[in-house]
Each structure stands twice: as structure tokens, then as C-alpha cells.
A and B are shown apart, each in its own frame.
Chain A
Amino acid sequence: MTEPALLEVEGLGVSYGDSRAVHDVSFSLAAGRCLGVIGESGAGKSQAFLALMDLLPARARVVGQARLAGQSLLGGAGAGLRGREVAMIFQDPLSSLTPHMTIGDQVAEPLVAHRGMGWRQARVRAAQLLDQVRVNDVPRRLAQYPHELSGGMRQRAMIAMALACDPKLLIADEPTTALDVSVQAQLLALLRDLINERRMALALVTHDMGVIAALADDVQVMRGGSVVERGPVRQILERPAHDYTRSLLAATPRLEGAAPEPKTSSARVPLTVRDLAVRFRLPGWRRRTELVAVDGVSFDVAEGEALGIVGESGSGKSTLTRALLRLTQASGGDAVWLGRSLRELDGDALRAVRADIQVVFQDPFASLDPTMSVAECVAEPLRALRPEMDATARAAAVQRALDSVGLDASFATRRSPTLSGGQCQRVAIARAMVLQPKLLVCDEAVSALDVSIQAQILELLMRIKREQGLSLVFVSHNLAVVRQLCERVLVMYLGREVESGPTGRVFAAPRHPYTRMLLESVPILDPERERARLAALPASGDTPSPVDRPTGCAFRTRCPEARPQCAAVRPEPEPVDNSQRVACLRWRELEN
């Protein structure tokens, strides 16, 4: 701590007209250390750092002082420092990279612009940089375009660009939020190494306590534009002083703790899915390729139980739910709802079944029609499926549904663009529950929400499930959320089941290496254990594209336990005991 501060910020404020986005923020950051700034959306955490980078719109008014190694950053003085001394990476690497330039050229560009290198020399250096951020297969990547890379690889390319001019300070704004947990863990490990190796200072803006635990040395908690608490990471995570910090920590879902126990086997099983497959034909000029999104998945959902479906992006979990809802037609197998095949139903019979099975989607803003009022949105399923209801009865049902999700009558006439994300998601749940369905399908229903809102929505779902005996199919990439809500879990990889069983059993004793990898990727809210975990993390790549899936076991390309036989034989799910199943050729060997 004796090291002099590299970045010093005093009394930083950002305001737009009369509204203050950031108020009186001060901190200092030394080389080789990481400052974590945590807060929910609207806390002003990004605004503060955008102000340091001079990336705010012209109408923003910035006050205060900021010095990088003694040189002032604010008021136009810092123009020469940005890009050379300070670099920034953003949440969405796809929109931060230029689509028409190859990765190699994009990483080389700052070297040419700021370092006066020639293009040839800069490209060689770009290859070294990409190698340093552990991009695999560098020679091929150099000639690829951003859309050809996976999210994790893109974010690495962004980091390579940011590192091109050896900045003293790297600002990372939600660098891993858009990524799968396994990829997130790899990137966090990479950032940690970069700080240590390069003695670089990292300012990390995030809403995720797990990311803080992994990287930050010092933490400041922001709310409503002001810093409410600051301190070393251990103190913030273990002995938070401010109520808000405590509530953030309490709302963060954890993997530890008991999962809900499955009901006794006598419970009715309304939904039975057998060998469900969804294939898409991809248009091609000469040969047609087929994308197998879901490849023969089977499961049951019992009455009043929640089934969690987990997996990384590209695992086919969303397509599976769309097939269940008949938003996509299945190409094979069947889903049977109360004795009726969902695949064969059509017209009015299908519409009648829809009253039983409802859905809540991920994006709270996209799932409500912006031209409709809240009451109209909620009334829509009633209009369609309960035509006998008159206007008064319908209005009463809508109001009951809104009450049950905690929205009072004043919301009925508002339109979705005036609501917050959490309120929109409540409306979406009210719309799904207004028909009193027996099964609710949630496709990443809490993933886009801030942790405290996420906790409220989860609480709401658990209450509805308990009170109405509702069954749930809950798709999520967040294992901690699944642990809280779901009695059973189904782990998917590239469209196939790899493991399934009671959540408590699967999470406590995972049989499949993929399940183990997913569980190991979940951040732990303990800085020391979390850092030890990241340091020990094996380098494992990204999910392959479902178009060219590996032969045999699809996971073998990333599996630490893979053997030659895994390429030859495709493992089928087999029972471990009477409730748990695993699809791995070597699970018995790996037990011992």
C-alpha cells in the first residue's frame, strides 16, 4: 500500500441539466491493483469512468479533479493520454469491434496510430498480443472478422487492443457480463494475470459481487450516483458496514445451501418429454447444412415442481422451451401434456392447451408491446382464450393478476416504455399467470435484471409456485439461481442431455465433467478461495458451433478427462441411481 497512487480522482461529479448522475466521487488507484466499483443500473458507476475517458455526450457537465500519474485527465487535457496511458473495454465486444476489419488489423491499428509503427510490424506485434491474452489458433484469428469469433474470443481481442499501447490504467466496464460462466472465469483469470504481470492498474465496473470477489483489491459501492461504502475487498464482502452493501450481498444468489427437495414419486407428472429434437435447415448456396439445436432430450416435469435447464449459450436450452411452447415445430420425438401430444395438436385444440402452458422471456422490455397499456397486455390471453368473459370480469381478473405480482392499480394504464425492467418482468409474469396455467416456462427470466430485482422476482416465482401448485421449466445459465428455485435440474451441452437429477444431488455430486466444469465456474463470494480457484482453472475453450459438432461425445474437445474412445462412441444418458442420469462413457471410472 506504500506505492504512490497512479490515478487520483477527487470530487468527480457528472450532471445532465438538473439531474446528477455522479456526485462527489473520490478515489485513488495504485499500479498493480484493482479497484472494483459495484452498483446496480443507474448507480452512475459507468458514467464516472466514461467521464474520465471523455466519452460522455457533450451536454454532460463534469466537475472535479482527476490525475493520472500527476497529469490532469479532465477538461480536454487528457486527450493525449487516452488510448496510450488509459484504455477501456466494454460489455459488448461485438458492438465495440468494427465489423468490416479483421481482428489482426483492429489490434494493430492503435499501434500504428499511437506508436507510429508500420503495418507489417504492427501485425506481428498484434499476433503476440493475441497470444498473451490466450487467444487460441492465433494465425487463423488474425484474418478473421469479429462475427466469426465467439463472445469470449471477441472480448479477448478487445483486451488485446486495449493492451496494445501498454496502458498504465485499464478501465473494464462489465467485461464479463455478456459471457457464459465458464468463459467468464477464464477471462477473470486472464485479467488477474495481466494486473500482476504488467503492474497495470485495473478499474473494474460491475454489478456482480462474484466478479468483485475474483479481481478487486479495493471496492467501492455506489448507489444513486454517490459512493455509499468503500474498503478492502475482504471487509466489504465479510463485514459490510452499509445496509445497501448488505442487501446487495444478500441478494446475490449463492451455490452453497440446500436446493428444494423433489416431491415424492407419487406426484402427478403432467409433462413428459421423450427424445425431443429440433433441427433447422440453414440456407446455403450449394449444400444445405442442418443445425441440430436440440438432439433427443427426454425429461419429466412433476406437478408443483421446478425443472431447471442449464447450459452455456448454444446448448439448445432456449430452442427446447420454444418447442415446448410450440413456437417452433419439433422435428422428432414428442412432448406429451396431460396425455395429449403437443407436437400433433393444431388449431383450436392447441390454443386450448396454451391456456395451461405459459411463458416468461428474458428481455423484460421486448416482451411487452410498447403500444399497449399494462392492462391490455395482461388482458390479451383472456381475450384470446376466455372469449366468454365480459369486460368487467376481465378487468377484475387483470387486477387480481397485477395484485399477485405486487403492482397496484395505478400501473394498469401505463405503457411498458415508462416501466423499469423489474416492473416489466412483473407485468410479463402477471400476463402469464392470468390464465392460471399449470406450467410456467421461464426462459432466462431473471438474467437481465439487477441482483436485488432478481431476488424479488425469484421470491415472487417461488411464492406463486407454492401457492398455486405450479410446475416450472426454468431455463438459466445461472446455476446459483437454479439451486434456489428448482427441485430437479437438466444439464445440456450442444443440444443433448449430459446429466440430470435432483438439484441437490447433481450439484453436490456431479458425475459429468461438464457439470463439474460449470459448477467450478460459479464465482465464490470469498476473495481468497475465489482467487485460488481461478489460479487453478484449466484452460478450456469455447462451445463448438452446433453446425459442426464433434463426433462421439460432443464435450470431448473441452473435457479434461477425454480419451480416444470418447471420439468414437456417443454416450447416451444412463441411470446412476433411480433419480440421477449421466451421459458419459467414463463416469464409473471417474468415480474412483
Chain B
Amino acid sequence: MKTRISPALWVLGALAVLALAAPFITPWSHDTLDWEHLAAPPQLDASHWFGTDRLGRDLFARGMQALRVSLALGLLATLVSVGIGVAWGATAGYLGGRIDAAMMRFVDIVYALPYVFIVIILSTVFPRGSLAALFIAIGAVGWLTMARIVRGQTLSLRSREFVAAAIAGGARTPAILWRHIFPNVIGAVIAYATLTIPQVILFESFLSFLGLGVQEPYASLGSLINEGAQEMESSPWMLLVPAGLLTLLLIAFNSLGDGLRRRLAPGDD
């Protein structure tokens, strides 16, 4: 089964361009109040294409701003988790033995911590709504799975004969990791990283939905959905716009990741 990845790439590209260009397209900004259109449905006049919320803020502008937050956080947190996860997993898998056991038990312990509490604790340490706290919280969880995947791949690579030949050829451990292990796990890493992005986005939305994430006047897809859900019966667009954006984003990232995984890391199905 071959999964096509180009539709997903087109959707993601269009969403990214739209999110970045939004301030130049719409006359509204995410925090301007339009007193003449409170809770207005989608309309062409007054340029409220996606309608407005209870306070008269334009949902297109807010939705795009939320998309920027989601994309930035998703990419950045994934990058960090890939960095830590690959280094951690490859080191543990390659060195093996006690070091491996200790490193992976640490991963298990962090896995076992209830991360919602960590986020709540972090949000008391950092100022409320700080993106840094959100970032640390997501990063702390994201690298764990990556470390496990990379460790597994490294374990199977380590027993391959080209690694033995490199050791016999006098290569040092860091050189072997850098020249043999990383290039051979990179396919799987890229594929799984692409699947991590939507997880991060979903996690952020979940935290913001609970009110632990991005704070007013900024919006994230999660906080928009939260607000929209309260007005679901009278003004359904307030829910449908952010929920639609989130769904589109997640489907695109997931199908891209799945396609890449099949292409770059076959045999893991």
C-alpha cells in the first residue's frame, strides 16, 4: 500500500501560508473588538469571513493567530524532542548494558509522571500563560517516545557487521554514532517526528481547553474550541471554525507522517 503524501503537503503548505499572511489579508487583528458585530455569523461585508465571537473579535484573525501558535509550538517542541530523544536513545542503545538500563529506567519514570500535574505545577512557577512553561511541559513528554524508538533501532543496528567493521577499523564511539547510527535511524526519526507534531498540537489544544495554555488576548485552537463550545447552540460557527482548522491540520500531519513512515521506515507496520 502506497500512501500519497503530496495532498497532505499541499494542505499543510496552504495552511502555513494562510496563517502567516493573515495579518495582511484581513483588516482585523486578533484582539480588536468590533462593537457593531457581536457574535456575528460568517459574512462577506465587514470582512468577518468566519464570523465573530461574543466580544466581536474576528474569528478568521483569531483562528489564524491560533494556527501560528499551534504550528510554531508543534514544530519547535518536536525539534527539541527529536534532539533530546535521538541523542538519548542512540547513546543508550549503543552503549547498552547498565548505562542503557539506567537511561531507559529514567525514561520509564518520567513516562509514569502524570504530566497534567507537571503542567499545573509549572504554570505556578512561571507566569500564567507563559509559552515557555507550555513549551517545557510538552518538550518534557515528547522526547520519551522518540528515545524509545531510536534506542530500538540502534540496538538492531549495533549488531550489524558494518558497525563491527567500523570498530575494528579504529573508529571511536562518537564517530560511529554520528557516521553510522544517526544516518541509518534518520528515516524512522523523520517519519515519527512528523507524527509527533500533531500530538504536540493536540496536547497544546487540550491544555488550552483546560485553561492552562495560551491566555487572553491570545488564542490557541484549544481555547477557541473551549469558547466556541459554550456558544455551540446559538452560534455554531464559533466552534466549527477552530475545530475545523484543528481537524484539517491533524489529518494533514498524520497522513504525511504515515506516508513518510511507510516510505522511510518500512517493516514497522
Is the pair B168, A368 in contact by a Cβ cutoff of 8 Å?
A: no
CA distance in complex: A4, B166 (Å): 59
List B residues 147-162 near A (Cβ within 8 Å). Answer: 160-162
- Cα distance A377–B161 in the bound complex, in angstroms: 13
Q: What is the distance, in angstroms, from A362's C-beta to the closest C-beta of chain B?
A: 8
State whether B169 touches A354 (Cβ < 8 A).
yes
> Is B235 part of the binding interface, using a Cβ–Cβ cutoff of 8 Å?
no
Closest B residue to A359 by CB, please name it. Answer: B168
Query: Which residues in window 359-399 of A have CB below 8 A to B?
Result: 359, 361-363, 366-372, 377, 380-381, 383-385
Contact B171 A380 (CB under 8 A): yes
Chain B: minimal CB distance from A343 (Å): 16
CB of A327 within 8 A of chain B? yes
Does A120 have its Cβ within 8 Å of any Cβ on chain B?
A: no
A325 at the interface (CB under 8 A from B): yes
* Contact of A31 with B by CB under 8 A: no
Number of A positions contacting B (CB below 8 A): 29
Contact between B169 and A358 (Cβ–Cβ < 8 Å)? yes
A557 to chain B, nearest CB (A): 31
A-contact 0/1 string along B163-174, CB 8 Å cutoff: 011111111100
Interface size class on chain B is 10 to 19
Is the CB of B29 closer than 8 A to any CB of chain A? no
Taken together as a complex, chains A and B put the C-alpha atoms of A428 and B168 apart, in Å, by: 12
Most central of B164, B165, B166, B183 by chain A CB within 10 Å: B165
Contact A359 B172 (CB under 8 A): no
Most buried by A among B160, B162, B166, B172: B162
Query: Is B180 on the interface with A (CB-CB < 8 A)?
Result: yes
Q: Which of A325, A359, A366 contacts B160 (CB 8 A)?
A: A366
Q: Nearest Cβ distance between residue B157 and chain A, in whole angstroms?
A: 9
> Which residues of chain A are within 8 angstroms of B179 by Cβ–Cβ distance?
369, 372, 380
B165–A371 CB distance below 8 A: no
Contact with A along B159-198 (1 / 0, CB 8 A): 0111011111111100100011001100000000000000
A237 within 8 A of partner (CB): no
**Measured between alpha carbons, how far is A431 from B175 in the docked complex, in Å?**
17
> Given contacts A354-B169, A385-B169, A431-B169, is CB(A367)–CB(B161) below 8 Å?
yes
A residues less than 8 Å from B167 (CB atoms): 325, 327
Q: Which residues of B contact A362 (CB under 8 A)?
A: 161
Select B183's contact among A368, A371, A435, beta carbons within 8 Å. Answer: A371
* A355 touches which of B166, B170, B183 (Cβ 8 Å): B170
Q: Tell me if B162 and A354 are in contact (CB < 8 A).
A: no
Q: A354-B170, A385-B170 are in contact. Are A367 and B165 (CB under 8 A)?
A: yes
Q: Are B162 and A366 in contact (CB under 8 A)?
A: yes
B165: nearest chain-A partner, CB-CB: A367
Asked if A263 CB lies within 8 Å of chain B CBs, one says no
Give the chain A neighbours of B175 by CB distance below 8 A: 383-384
A359 to B170, CA, bound (A): 12
Residue A351 is within 8 A (CB to CB) of chain B in the complex: yes
A504 to chain B, nearest CB (A): 31
What are 18 pairs between A and B in contact, CB < 8 Å? A322-B164, A325-B164, A359-B164, A361-B164, A366-B160, A367-B164, A367-B165, A368-B162, A371-B183, A372-B179, A372-B183, A380-B166, A380-B169, A381-B169, A381-B170, A384-B166, A384-B172, A432-B165
New contact pairs (11) apart from A361-B164, A381-B169, A384-B166, CB-CB < 8 Å? A325-B168, A351-B170, A358-B168, A358-B169, A368-B162, A369-B162, A369-B166, A369-B179, A384-B171, A431-B165, A432-B165
B interface residues, Cβ below 8 angstroms from A: 160-162, 164-172, 175, 179-180, 183-184
Going nearest first, the 7 A-B pairs with the smallest beta carbon separation are A381-B169, A371-B183, A367-B161, A385-B170, A384-B170, A361-B161, A354-B170
